[in-house]
Structure 1
Amino acid sequence: MSQFAGCLISHEHGDHCKAIKDVLKAGIDCYMSPGTAGAIGIFHHRIKPVRAKQPFKIGSWSIMPFDVQHDVAEPYGFLLANEDGDKLLFATDTYYIKYKFPGLTHIMVECNYSNEILNENIESGRTPLFMKKRLLQSHFSLENVKEFLKANDLSRVQEIWLLHLSESNSDEKLFKEDIMKLTGKVVYIP
């Protein structure tokens, strides 16, 4: 843990901030929106609230938090840039990204579900209907990821990571092939 200069927290859901107490205990500053800090409810001198579209630095990285759309207090995505010209976009748990990002070299973005798979699962009863509304208003679909990628200049992108795939409403192989075909880039799914 001593090699970490900081920790970025996108929002307060447990699967995104579960280890915050351990991270703080290890002496690592945690950066998040004021809304996320309040929702987490931990008061600690290493919790650093940051504002959307106001850059800050951690080590040699300049970080620009930006607002995303999710069903929580004040979620963020992050654009990280270093002096070597690397630009990493990280965005998860959002159904839409309203910004364009010039000069990206790496993309880590949620690709939670496919509308087609979700609808098939609802029809067959594998996924309850109420889940559809929540997914549509809180998570990035394959279709919206494609639109986001088309809207951005990918000429410098070296790799794309698809994150946060749904266990039942996604298809890892299909998603990877679709994004590779669309972008011509290397695609990873952790």
Structure 2
Amino acid sequence: MRFASLASGSKGNCLVAEVGGTRLLVDCGLNLRDTERRLARLNLMPSEIDGILVTHEHGDHACGVFDFAAAHGATVYLTHGTLGALGAEGKVVEGVRISIISSKDVFSVNCMEVRPFTVPHDAREPVQFVLSDGAARLGVLTDIGSPTAHVEQALSGCDALVLECNYDLEMLRGGAYPRWLKERIAGPLGHLDNRQSERLLGALDCSRLKHVICAHLSQQNNRPELARAALARAMGCEESWIGLAGQEEGFDWRSI
């Protein structure tokens, strides 16, 4: 099993995971041409993507989902609430194959097992995912306002983890965002700050972790070195061991 990021941040998110000949995107918050260009950087053809797992309807995660699926024949996997929200925004393209998923049910796409789990976030029916080839497990957690016991249970025992470190609390408080936006970001349905991510990681069973990557960093309210330092404290490792998912560069293939 291997995985890579096309982009991560408030301007667009997209991750790809591969097991055997099966390849799935987790979200597609980029326009069609940008997604195609970034896939080529990973030596992938768009036609090689079997499906798109959608975490929620926000534009930085879902704006390109149906355009890509319509152009390249990928199946879209999403909750009923997310589909309804995207439909209300006029984002659903007729003719695209859609599979409704539930946070209660594990399913498989060819040889890849997909385990959705619910998260507190200000969307209609948001989920995040653990992907597996039957042996190794990749956990993805990019948009969540507050850690829960359910989330800890879902992510414990993973072999790789892509974890949101959205903002530094002091930078957010002292920054230029309006008060309502600061409250939304830091609220229980917003995003995780570095310290919250550190505490969450410290609460997990990390005995199998081979990769930890900080993701969804705010370009205005965080710095990579702060996010890396927080996760390194939780892991008891060198900061350089913690990976980074960037807005422009994502990150290259990693294997587990």
User: TM (normalized to structure 1)?
Assistant: 0.90
Q: Which has the higher contact order (CA 8 A, sep 6+)?
A: 2
Amino acid at match of 1:159: H
2:138–2:159 CA contact under 8 A, matched in 1? yes
1:106 has 2:160 as partner: yes
Written as runs of structure 1 = structure 2, the 5 A alignment for 1:1-80 is: 1-25=46-70, 26-41=72-87, 42=92, 44-80=95-131
- Structure 1 residues 5 and 77, CA, compared in 2 at 3 Å: closer, same or farther? same
Q: In 1, are the aligned partners of 2:76 and 2:96 still within 8 Å (CA)?
A: no
Measure the CA separation in 2 of the matches of 1:180 and 1:102. 17
Q: CA deviation at 1:127?
A: 2.6
Of stretches 129-138 and 180-189 in structure 1, the one that deviates more from structure 2 is 180-189
CA drift at 1:60: 1.3
Report the 3-state secondary structure (helix = DSSP H, G, I; strand = E; otherwise coil) of the residue aligned with 1:2.
helix
Q: Following TM superposition, by how much is the alpha carbon of 1:187 offset from its aligned partner in structure 2, in angstroms?
A: 1.4
Cα distance in structure 2, aligned partners of 1:81 and 1:142: 27
How many correspondences in the alignment? 185
Alignment deviations for residues 29-79 of structure 1 (CA, whole Å, 9 cap, x no partner): 111111001111125451211001210001211111111111110111001
- Residue 128 of structure 1: how far off its partner (Å): 2.1
- 8 Å contact kept, 2:161–2:213: yes
Deviates more, 1:127-136 or 1:9-18: 127-136
Q: Runs of 5+ in structure 2 lacking a partner? A: 1-45, 246-256
| Structure 2 CA distance for aligned equivalents of residues 91 and 175 of structure 1 | 15
Q: Take 1:131 and 1:30, find their aligned partners in 2: how far apart are those partners?
A: 30
Distance 1:91 1:44, change over 3 A: farther
Aligned to 1:188: 243
Percent of aligned pairs sharing the same letter: 29
Per-residue deviation, residues 69-111 of structure 1 (Å, max 9, x unmatched): 111101110011112x211111112112322233200111211
State the TM-score, normalized to the length of structure 2.
Answer: 0.68
Q: Work out the CA distance in 2 between the residues paired with 1:40 and 1:31.
A: 13
Deviation at 1:131, TM superposition (A): 1.8
Quote the RMSD (CA, aligned, Å): 1.6
Tell me, in whole angstroms, the C-alpha distance in 2 between the residues paired with 1:15 and 1:72: 13
Q: Cα offset for 1:142?
A: 1.0
Contact residue 31 and residue 48 of structure 1 kept, 8 A: yes
